[in-house]
Structure 1
Amino acid sequence: MDPIPLVHASLGEQELAAVAEVFASGWPAGQGPKGKALEAQLVARYGVGDAVAMCNAGAALHVALLALGVKPGDEVIVADYGFPAPAHAVRYLDAVPVCADVRADTGTIDPQAVADLITPRTVGVIAVDTVGIPADYVELQAIADRHGLFVIEDAACAVGAKYQGREAGALTEVGVLSFHGRKGASSGEGGALLAADPKIGADARLRSSFGIGSIFDMGKVVGLPIPEFTQIGYNYKLSDIAAAILQVQLGRIDELLARRDAVATRYAELLADEELLTVPYVPQDRTHAWQTYMVTLDASVDRAAVATELRGKGIGCGHGTFAAHIQPVFESKHKCPVSADLHQRHLAIPMHAELSTNQVERVVDALRSAVRTHSVPTRTLGGAA
């Protein structure tokens, strides 16, 4: 049978036509007309003060921390469970990432864990919308306000998700989005910074272009404008090719997310009675973007053996995501037992907008068979199975 990939980007003729327009324009580089149009589209969709298109969400996190004034030695509390881009970004500034444990049901940062980690050196919090589900922003913002901290929303996985009716990515003073190939809206690679305060956006835009303004804009000025490098910056621009693709993708996001949601609903229906795993939990006050669909395996199940069997049948799967505090590079002294447990028991199964009903059913049949085959029977006190 044909393989069923873990992820698949929904790119087609509309996106190709948008790229052809960029080729014809003669400006494929960054901060050109397509990039500006994308930023305007993001501002309109998210209702923010500014949006800066960037090469990826990790870059957006980096310049966000710079714009918010993080200094070497400062502590920034980061969600432990998820891709560890926040911890990396904090370390770029020689600041200290402090890993906070997560909720067992959603995998999102636990507000109480955040409160318990605050010290006089703490300057902010980076919450992660783990694989597409928003964190608890009412509680997190209340904690931050009491202590004078900033909150950054890492909504890299959550384009299209909502929290209490509001768009993920615009739930705090600064949010970041990712448009990586597995996201709900994708240009292969790409990201954006969303800022409530236009001053933060202006700062981030300058830093993302080596500390100078748009070369495209300068090229339209009569005369010979000579850029001045007013601060150290980075080459974090998003190409107009990618921006053109994203304009189309953002216009399709509701359609693409509806397809992912249908897949998630069907998975939940088919796996509801399986005792050896649990399906994702979504609180009533938020929606999930379903970047990833992770099931939680019972502790008796051999995850590696299940993955081997699924892959042998042509079905993509993965470990889920990461527990940052156990990664050697971060050398965290803070233990996060919930995150560590989820890291051991989560299994990602195929999730994208192109999955057919038959493919979903094939995944479920293979998964159900594998977990039953590779579970270790619970032992009695006497040692007998």
Structure 2
Amino acid sequence: MKGNMKNVPLGQPTVGDEELAAVKAVFESGWLSGAGPACQAFEAEFAAAVGATGAVATSNCGSALHLAQLVLGAGAGDEVIVADYTFPATGHSVMWAGATPVFADVRPDIWTIDPASVEDKITSKTVGIIAVDSFGQPADYDELRAIADRHKLWLIEDAACASGATYHGRPAGSLADVAAFSFHGRKGITAGEGGALVSADASLVAHARKLHTYGISPAITRANSTDLPVPSFDELGYNYRMSDVQAAIMREQLKRMPQLLEARSRAADRYAELLGDVELLTLPIALDDRTHPWQSYVIGLDPSLDRGAVAHLLRERGVGCNFGTYASHVQPLYGDQPDLPVSRRLFDRHLAIPMHANLADDDIEYVATTVRDVVSARETQAA
């Protein structure tokens, strides 16, 4: 087996000479720090790509989520309803804003926030909703928008994994009052780290831009002044800027995005063909009314399987894997929370297998064959 064993990583960025040339150009420009010319160019290009009026390039998605809530007015005494099945940065961002996260359960089929659960969680303290595009597939924004409007709430799209996704023909990033993206190394387009806040509301974008630079306008706005303007600090801000090195990489990644999405979609289709008849697995689905960018490919394991044993055997055979994401409400930080059974079950049973744009056909076939072999192995049966 070892002689035929491959090493297929869980995730892998697609970068090359174009990104290197872009970084070289930034080095030669002399402006490497945040919110510079490369950031300005990327912000304009990204806003256009996602159907937004404006974008603010940020240090990561968490900082974009925090800024979004600050400019929408969340604060102490407020409650924000958050999709439960997500990396806890979503819930953390609510706490950073001084508000309280209230977790809502998710749909059992596509794992996005359940509008019925949202309705059930609304109280007199609720000010907003944060939906999460689970592994890239958008949530039910028509229903969520109707709920938000009916109760006079704002709506944020956590589009961390959703670059290139669509919902009813509209791009992720244009589906809520504000959206936040991630460019972490496992995302569909990446600079290793980084994020972006986008909105159709120019005033929200301008306010977020001010707050992401300590509460003043970025230095580039004063670079060509003939006098010496000295900014005044009248609002608490943060250092949430993306560097121009990262922005230069992201401009090239944005050009690559159609090809990267196509490669991921092809890999997802092939996994479905190769694993669709395995009774002990539940495969992810993509709904016809939205485009799934396949940031991750997450399978559900039957309760008869020991997930830890499955992961151990897959890794032994060179197949990268990890749990899907978190049921936030069971994390100790958030204290005692009402049980959310769908999210908790997904947290217990999900397993991510390799998904990235560099997967060759033989990589996908090796992963699928190995998964089939491992889930049928006696040592993976739960006690």
How would you bin the TM-score normalised by the shorter chain? over 0.9
Structure 1 residue aligned with 2:223, among 207, 219, 222?
A: 219
Residue 107 of structure 1 pairs with residue 97 of structure 2? no
SS at match of 2:135: helix
Structure 2 residue aligned with 1:148, among 152, 162, 181?
A: 152
AA matched with 2:188: G
- Which 10-residue stretch deviates more, 332-341 or 74-83? 332-341
Structure 2 residue aligned with 1:132, among 131, 136, 142?
A: 136
AA matched with 1:293: Y
Summarize the alignment of residues 291-370 of structure 1 with structure 2, pairs less than 5 Å apart.
291-370=295-374
Structure 2 residue aligned with 1:123, among 99, 116, 127?
A: 127
Hey, what does 1:383 align to over in structure 2? none
Residue 375 of structure 1 deviates from its aligned partner by: 5.1
CA distances 1:74-111 after superposition (whole Å, capped 9, x unpaired): 00000000111121011112211000000111110000
Contact 1:153–1:171 (CA under 8 A) maintained in structure 2: yes
Structure 2 residue aligned with 1:81, among 79, 85, 89?
A: 85
Residue 209 of structure 1 pairs with residue 213 of structure 2? yes
Residue 332 of structure 1 deviates from its aligned partner by: 4.1
- Which 10-residue stretch deviates more, 172-181 or 327-336? 327-336
SS at match of 1:124: strand
Residue 377 of structure 1 deviates from its aligned partner by: 8.6
In structure 2, what is the Cα distance between the partners aligned to 1:218 and 1:80?
43
In structure 1, what is the Cα distance between the partners aligned to 2:14 and 2:64?
24
Structure 1 residue aligned with 2:102, among 98, 105, 108?
A: 98
In structure 2, what is the Cα distance between the partners aligned to 1:5 and 1:216?
40
In structure 2, what is the Cα distance between the partners aligned to 1:101 and 1:175?
20
Contact 1:98–1:334 (CA under 8 A) maintained in structure 2: no
In structure 2, what is the Cα distance between the partners aligned to 1:120 and 1:135?
24
AA matched with 1:87: G
Residue 331 of structure 1 deviates from its aligned partner by: 1.3
CA distances 1:228-270 after superposition (whole Å, capped 9, x unpaired): 1121100000001000000010111010010011000000000
Summarize the alignment of residues 169-184 of structure 1 with structure 2, pairs less than 5 Å apart.
169-184=173-188
In structure 1, what is the Cα distance between the partners aligned to 2:147 and 2:182?
26
Contact 2:71–2:208 (CA under 8 A) maintained in structure 1: yes
Residue 239 of structure 1 pairs with residue 243 of structure 2? yes
In structure 1, what is the Cα distance between the partners aligned to 2:223 and 2:231?
11
Contact 2:305–2:382 (CA under 8 A) maintained in structure 1: no
Provide the aligned length of Structure 1 versus Structure 2: 378
In structure 2, what is the Cα distance between the partners aligned to 1:199 and 1:219?
23
AA matched with 1:240: D
SS at match of 1:131: coil
In structure 2, what is the Cα distance between the partners aligned to 1:209 and 1:93?
17
In structure 1, what is the Cα distance between the partners aligned to 2:200 and 2:10?
35
Residue 262 of structure 1 pairs with residue 257 of structure 2? no
Residue 197 of structure 1 deviates from its aligned partner by: 0.5
SS at match of 1:231: coil
TM norm structure 1: 0.96
Hey, what does 2:275 align to over in structure 1? 271
Residue 342 of structure 1 deviates from its aligned partner by: 0.4
Residue 217 of structure 1 deviates from its aligned partner by: 2.4
TM norm structure 2: 0.97
SS at match of 1:213: coil
In structure 1, what is the Cα distance between the partners aligned to 2:184 and 2:227?
39
Contact 1:133–1:282 (CA under 8 A) maintained in structure 2: yes
Residue 56 of structure 1 deviates from its aligned partner by: 0.5
SS at match of 2:313: helix
Contact 1:98–1:332 (CA under 8 A) maintained in structure 2: no
In structure 2, what is the Cα distance between the partners aligned to 1:84 and 1:288?
22
CA distances 1:191-212 after superposition (whole Å, capped 9, x unpaired): 0001110000000000000011
Contact 2:105–2:343 (CA under 8 A) maintained in structure 1: yes
CA distances 1:331-368 after superposition (whole Å, capped 9, x unpaired): 14221100000001100000000011101111111111
Contact 2:74–2:98 (CA under 8 A) maintained in structure 1: no
AA matched with 2:341: P
In structure 2, what is the Cα distance between the partners aligned to 1:197 and 1:331?
35
AA matched with 1:194: V
In structure 2, what is the Cα distance between the partners aligned to 1:377 and 1:312?
19
Structure 1 residue aligned with 2:252, among 248, 253, 259?
A: 248
In structure 2, what is the Cα distance between the partners aligned to 1:375 and 1:222?
71
Residue 2 of structure 1 deviates from its aligned partner by: 3.9
- Which 10-residue stretch deviates more, 86-95 or 104-113? 86-95
In structure 1, what is the Cα distance between the partners aligned to 2:123 and 2:286?
31
Residue 219 of structure 1 deviates from its aligned partner by: 2.3
> Segments of 4+ in structure 1 off by > 2 A?
374-378
Indicate how the Cα distance of structure 1 residues 377 and 187 shifts in structure 2: closer, same or farther if over 3 A, else same: closer
Residue 43 of structure 1 deviates from its aligned partner by: 2.0
- Unmatched tracts of structure 2, length 5 or more: none
Structure 2 residue aligned with 1:200, among 199, 204, 214?
A: 204
In structure 2, what is the Cα distance between the partners aligned to 1:217 and 1:20?
24
Q: CA RMSD in A?
A: 1.2
Residue 216 of structure 1 deviates from its aligned partner by: 2.1
Contact 2:126–2:153 (CA under 8 A) maintained in structure 1: yes
